[in-house]
């Protein structure tokens, strides 16, 4: 297999072999500079230190382009669990929610804590065939956090449409390296601090126009008004007609950085990043197989090796960061990785 160099090398300076983007992405240099600039403006008491809603909207628009939707279909927030919590609180009592077994808790827990919803769990590979007429919502991750498996998006979408079920896609482990077509799903959520390379505190929700009226904006504050600057006191006169009605107040440091991170992804291109990441993951899978280890079979940029989770600490001591998840050793490849990172990890795993 041909050698692959990292992409965007001027933006990153990892001090070790970092194969852990599924836990947290590395911040680009331009992102750090934007955060530092705002922090310094705040410390100096300058007017710009309050943070810019224009930059928040820039991040919104950049994510919209990456997700293939209009900016008015994107809400900004702080975390996936808050977005999902709003969706969960909007479901009618007794509604059936269908999940894959073992999906990430932030996709599941906001529904189960209600206590008056019917929750059903099936293996990921059976998710599409398990949708039935009484299913109100299918909630799942595009790429599974524990083992990197990718969902059969076309089959799930078709099954949900056939039975009139709404869909919630968590793109946290895929947005940033796998093209996202958010308009094909009623709701998508994506935490920004992994493959989107944003600071923690930036997260995105998309809502179709058809699904918007069924979603209750339970944390609507003054920033959710159609006219933002006339709603500081008393009830908001009119909620935004767009998905901005579901905004949380933006953490400005996070979003000043997010706008720069998303700009970098746009410049490089998601399709190019996808090819790069998948090639590195394939090289790693081939190397693992040659060493006698059987990775989870998939074409994901996230590679899991069952039974090797206990090697995490030894790898860390050797300067290689991966994660242990559900007994798996999990490696995740992104644009700042190259062939040398793969080969170094295989060298250490090979003893």
Please give the domain boundaries of the chain with CATH numbers for all domains: 9-28+269-349 (3.90.1150.10), 39-267 (3.40.640.10)
pLDDT tens digits along 132-147: 999 999 999 999 999 9
User: Are the C-beta atoms of 280 and 47 separated by less than 8 Å?
Assistant: no
Higher pLDDT, 152 or 229: 152
Give the per-residue pLDDT at 151: 98
Q: Which residues of 211-241 are buried (b: 16+ CB within 10 A; e: fewer)?
A: bbeebebeebeebbbeeeeebeeeebeeebe
Question: pTM of the predicted model, to two decimals?
Answer: 0.96
Phi, psi of 170 (to 5 degrees): -95, 115
Q: Is the pLDDT of residue 255 over 70?
A: yes
The packing angle between helices 270-290 and 339-349, to 10°, is 20
Give the per-residue pLDDT at 231: 82
The overall average pLDDT reported for the chain is: 96
The region of weakest confidence among 19-28, 44-53, 124-133, 173-182 is 44-53
Mean of pLDDT values over 243-256: 97
User: Are the C-beta atoms of 306 and 328 separated by less than 8 Å?
Assistant: yes
pLDDT tens digits along 182-204: 999 999 999 999 999 999 999 99
Mean of pLDDT values over 254-270: 98
Encoding tokens for residue 3? 């050698």
């Amino acid at each position: 297999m041909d050698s692959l160099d990292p992409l965007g090398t001027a933006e990153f300076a990892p001090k070790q072999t970092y194969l852990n983007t599924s836990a947290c992405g590395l911040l680009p240099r331009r992102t750090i500079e934007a955060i530092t600039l705002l922090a310094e403006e705040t410390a100096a008491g300058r007017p710009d230190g309050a943070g810019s809603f224009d930059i928040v909207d820039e991040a919104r628009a950049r994510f919209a382009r990456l997700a293939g939707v209009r900016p008015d279909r994107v809400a900004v927030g702080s975390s996936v669990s808050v977005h999902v919590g709003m969706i969960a609180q909007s479901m009618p009592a007794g509604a059936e929610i269908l999940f894959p077994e073992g999906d990430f808790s932030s996709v599941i827990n906001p529904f189960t804590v209600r206590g008056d919803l019917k929750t059903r769990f099936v293996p990921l590979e059976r998710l599409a065939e398990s949708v039935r007429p009484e299913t109100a919502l299918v909630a799942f991750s595009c790429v599974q956090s524990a083992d990197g498996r990718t969902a059969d998006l076309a089959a799930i979408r078709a099954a949900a449409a056939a039975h009139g079920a709404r869909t919630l896609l968590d793109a946290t482990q895929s947005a940033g390296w796998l093209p996202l077509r958010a308009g094909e799903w009623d709701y998508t959520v994506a935490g920004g601090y992994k493959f989107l390379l944003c600071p923690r505190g930036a997260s995105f929700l998309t809502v179709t126009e058809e699904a918007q009226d069924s979603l209750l904006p339970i944390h609507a504050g003054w920033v959710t008004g159609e006219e933002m600057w006339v709603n500081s006191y008393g009830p908001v006169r009119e909620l935004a007609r767009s998905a901005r009605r579901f905004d949380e107040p933006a953490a400005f440091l996070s979003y000043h950085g997010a706008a720069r991170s998303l700009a970098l992804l746009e410049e490089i291109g998601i399709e190019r990043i996808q090819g790069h990441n998948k090639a590195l993951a394939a090289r790693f899978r081939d190397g693992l197989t040659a060493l006698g280890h059987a990775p989870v079979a998939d074409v994901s940029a996230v590679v899991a090796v069952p039974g090797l989770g206990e090697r995490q600490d030894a790898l860390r001591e050797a300067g290689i960061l991966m994660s242990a998840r559900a007994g798996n050793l999990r490696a995740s490849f992104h644009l700042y990785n190259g062939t040398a990172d793969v080969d170094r990890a295989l060298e250490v795993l090979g003893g």
